[in-house]
Structure 1
């Protein structure tokens, strides 16, 4: 380990580290490195470090839209009197299917997380509202993690399957014969 007064001045400067990286990639240390550094930092810092062919994997906006639609579908599907529990999953499947058909990119991560969160919340709130409150609190204290885990896992599976079938339909419709 070096003492602080012996440390290289370039090691404290992140721009100098980027210059070294540009030199290793074949860039010159002259005027081009400033333009390359300005280009790579003009957008997001992380996006500038990614190779040009890699797109970001997670979209917060898509996740929030799908989460709100999934919560609405879980509530609407649970409101059907006879098939309330199955209706919740049919609603999740429909939202994920629609996201697969409508979206130009696959959003498996966003759809899976939104479906898992909506189904887990629905199982938790369903347990709280279906039993007398003191008994529901005791049940959740004993088995709450298992109840939410089953709901989350089932919601994740249903959402991923719905999105897969939606993407498959979109691919079949848009492919030339």
Structure 2
């Protein structure tokens, strides 16, 4: 009887170890799938590239076009990112545009911000940058998709 109990205990512990191994493998697989999905939604590498292109576009546009040149340049930078990227970088371009145009607007209205009345204008600049650059990336990737699709 004691031998039978020992065999049963060993069998249960072996089954528990197998179940634990399968559970850990399933958890690791789920983590990998979540990480891959998160990278398709927002990639740090694409965000860095978007930040560089939007910043360059804002600086060039602001230096050449007198009124709203920075926003037009940010749109063009995001548009170029959309044309060049195989995936749709709308989220990365939107966040980069919100940051760059928001900080640009904040630097333009720094005296008002210090006085306490320019924070709304800077927030509006960030929202405009987010929308404009998101649209720029969307239109750029849509153009690339239309040009590369077979008829």
Which interval holds the TM-score relative to the shorter structure? 0.7 to 0.9
Partner SS state of residue 50, structure 1? helix
Q: Match for residue 77 of structure 1?
A: 61
Higher fraction of helix: 2
Summarize the alignment of residues 67-146 of structure 1 with structure 2, pairs less than 5 Å apart: 67-80=51-64, 83-128=65-110, 136=111, 139-140=112-113, 141-146=115-120
Q: Unaligned 5+ residue runs, structure 1? A: 1-27, 129-135
Summarize the alignment of residues 1-177 of structure 1 with structure 2, pairs less than 5 Å apart: 31=18, 34=21, 37=24, 41=28, 47-48=31-32, 50=34, 54=37, 56=39, 57-80=41-64, 83-128=65-110, 136=111, 139-140=112-113, 141-177=115-151
Q: Unaligned 5+ residue runs, structure 2? A: 1-14
TM-score by length of 1: 0.65
TM-score by length of 2: 0.75
How many pairs align? 135
Q: Match for residue 16 of structure 1?
A: none
How far 1:170 moved relative to its partner? 1.1
For the structure 1 residues 173 and 33, does the alpha-carbon distance in structure 2 shift closer, same or farther, using more than 3 Å as the test?
farther
Q: Distance in 1 between matches of 2:129 and 2:116?
A: 22
Counterpart contact for 1:120–1:152, Cα < 8 Å? yes
Counterpart contact for 2:81–2:137, Cα < 8 Å? yes
Larger Rg: 2
